Amino acid sequence: MKTKITQLLGIEYPILQGPMGGGFSTAALLAAVSNAGGLGSYGAYTLTPDEIREAGKEIKLATSKPYNINLWVNDVDKSLVNYPAEKLEKIKQLYKPYFDELKIPLPDLSSDIASKFEKQVEVLFELKPAVFSFIFGIPSKEILQESRKLGIKTIGAATTLEEALALEDAEVDAIIAAGFEAGGHRPSFLKPAQDSFTGLFTLVQQLKAKTKTPIIAAGGIIDAKGIASAMALGADAVQLGTAFMVTDESGATPVHKKMIFDHPNLSTTVSKSLTGRMGRMITNKISDAVPFETEVLPFPLQTKFIAPLKNAALAQGRTDLICLWSGQNTSTLKHHKASDLMQALIAGL
């Protein structure tokens, strides 16, 4: 199926793998998708520049096809600057019962966290992937100009029409319509995430009516029927996250994959309780106990704070204390191999 996106990105099928960060992306997963004619992706926002360079070497060995590297434009909350020590301690005490439950100490934390984005971009330009996708904002004009100069296509994510119009003004090559059904962090950047809850099918139609930039639909799509529905409404391609996250090639933990396969109708919720930014995850003990209006540490300090709790919970089999990302739709997931998933999706086009 030829669309504006397949022509733009030099791929055979309008299927993109969601660029999952935090250790979920692997060269093997990316290659399985790209080699099958889609666009494999690598979520690199947590990686140091050297780690991105090493990932690039792995990718080059695994595929010669087009691929995408994804970064976060805004990877450190502004509120982290001069963060009050007394507030940090208060929030640590709020979570102390969970640390006590697992018999581990509260970690020592420093709020001195610098953005990695610009240094990461420098390495991305060295690697020259076919696609540079980004969330949580829009890169500077200089970065976008250098991308064009190097022949790298740019894709930004929008959770609202207003964000899509801002991306179009910046002259990105394509826009991801990020529906609220999607798993993982909600990449809103003009308004707070809780004020940007547009469903995918509405968002695709809004973008189709008001923008000229090619649209990639993301959120709640797990099979060929979902692809057909999104494209019937005007999308030029689709991006699947959860369906690829549960495959063997993904870096997600075995318990995470098993939870989704074994319980296809598990409820999900949107919460900032475990990372500091709103994201869709399987409902757990902490997300239930910490309402959205409760102040938590800014991103990524909250993530660093929760990291030892996550590790201990995994070791002790306490899935009720772990952030397990998932989209809303997991009802028909069945493929454990990324290549099998790709073949099923392609066969249904």
pLDDT tens, the chain, 349 aa long: 899 999 999 999 999 999 999 999 999 999 999 999 999 999 999 999 999 999 999 999 999 999 999 999 999 999 999 999 999 999 999 999 999 999 999 999 999 999 999 999 999 999 999 999 999 999 999 999 999 999 999 999 999 999 999 999 999 999 999 999 999 999 999 999 999 999 999 999 999 999 999 999 999 999 999 999 999 999 999 999 999 999 999 999 999 999 999 998 889 999 999 999 999 999 999 999 999 999 999 999 999 999 999 999 999 999 999 999 999 999 999 999 999 999 999 999 9
Query: Hunting for tokens 């709103």 — which residue is that?
Result: 278
Decide if 85 contacts 30 (C-beta within 8 A). no
Q: What's residue 265's pLDDT?
A: 85
Domain with CATH 3.20.20.70 in the chain: 4-75+113-252+333-347
pLDDT digits (tens, 9 = 90+) for 28-38: 999 999 999 99
Q: Tokens at residue 82, please?
A: 């001069």
Single-letter amino acid code for the residue at 49: P
| Per-residue model confidence (pLDDT) at position 320 | 97
> How far is 323 from 269, CA to CA, in rounded Å?
11
Calpha distance 155→134 (Å, rounded):
6
Radius of gyration over every alpha carbon of the chain, rounded to an integer in angstroms: 19
4-75+113-252+333-347 CATH, one of 3.20.20.70, 2.60.40.420, 3.30.1360.120, 3.40.220.10: 3.20.20.70
Containing H/E element for 87? helix 85-101
DSSP string, 14-57: SEEE---TTTT--HHHHHHHHHTTSBEEEE-TTS-HHHHHHHHH
Instruction: Decide if 296 contacts 273 (C-beta within 8 A).
Output: yes
pLDDT at position 264 is 87
Question: Which is it for strands 153-158 and 131-135: parallel, antiparallel or unpaired?
Answer: parallel
- Which residue in 247, 166, 234, 223 sits closest to 200, CA to CA? 234
pLDDT tens readout for residues 300-327: 999 999 999 999 999 999 999 999 999 9
Query: What's the pTM value of the predicted model, to 2 decimals?
Result: 0.97
Q: What is the pLDDT of residue 89?
A: 97
CA distance 32 to 168: 31
Partners of residue 72 on adjacent β-strands: 135
- Nearest to 113, CA basis, from 279, 299, 272, 296: 299
Residue matched to tokens 């992706």:
41
